[in-house]
Amino acid sequence: MNMEYRIADQNDTELLMDIRLKMLRTVNGLPDDYEFSQELTGYLREYFLSGDHTTCLALDSGTAVGCASISYYELMPTFDHPTGRRAHIMNVYTDESSRRKGIAKRLVLTLTARAKERGVTEISLDTTESGRPFYEKLGFRASEECMVMILKDL
């Protein structure tokens, strides 16, 4: 294994698109040849090109085998979060053949360090029950602080 870890840039857009869509197929139990809508792929491509985020890639001999992204956002500063800078980790994915080798851990730790450098005071993420112990070992804890309204359902 010849593993390289690096922060993706705009030159990596196609690589990012490929691994993100592969992850979405895997997570949603879709066949390998499933075609996503142009709406989704268009917004995804636009986000990779201009969104406020950092994506870290794990490459094995030049092939992407893992990725993780963090999206940055700002809210009004509060007592507990004086900068108002927050972030959300998503798209943590490792190819099945490369799992259990510390790749996801290294990707997430890289992103949390970058967030800290940017003055982020809170990082959130969504996880499955099976993923919860992994994130707890990295310092994340369960939170029931907010409610969500899905606007497309209204």
Query: What's the CATH code of the domain at 87?
Result: 3.40.630.30
CB 138 within 8 A of CB 109: yes
Per-residue pLDDT of the chain (154 residues), as tens digits, is 688 999 999 999 999 999 999 999 988 999 999 999 999 999 999 999 998 999 999 999 888 999 999 999 999 998 888 889 999 999 899 988 899 999 999 999 999 999 999 999 999 998 888 889 999 999 999 887 766 777 776 5
Q: Could you tell me the residue range of the domain that residue 61 belongs to?
A: 3-153
DSSP the chain: --EEEEE--GGGHHHHHHHHHHHHHHHTT--TTPPPPHHHHHHHHHHHHHSSEEEEEEEETTEEEEEEEEEEEE----SS-TT-EEEEEEEEEE-GGG-SSSHHHHHHHHHHHHHHHTT--EEEE---TTTHHHHHHTT-----------GGG-
CB 70 within 8 A of CB 53: yes
When divided into structural domains, the chain yields a total of 1
Signed CA dihedral, 142, 148, 152, 154: sign only: positive
Phi then psi dihedrals of residue 46, to 5 deg: -60, -40
CB 22 within 8 A of CB 41: no
What is the distance between the alpha carbons of residues 55 and 69, in angstroms, rounded to a whole number?
Answer: 4
Q: Hey, how many other C-beta atoms are within 10 angstroms of the C-beta on 149?
A: 6
So what's the pLDDT on residue 147?
A: 66
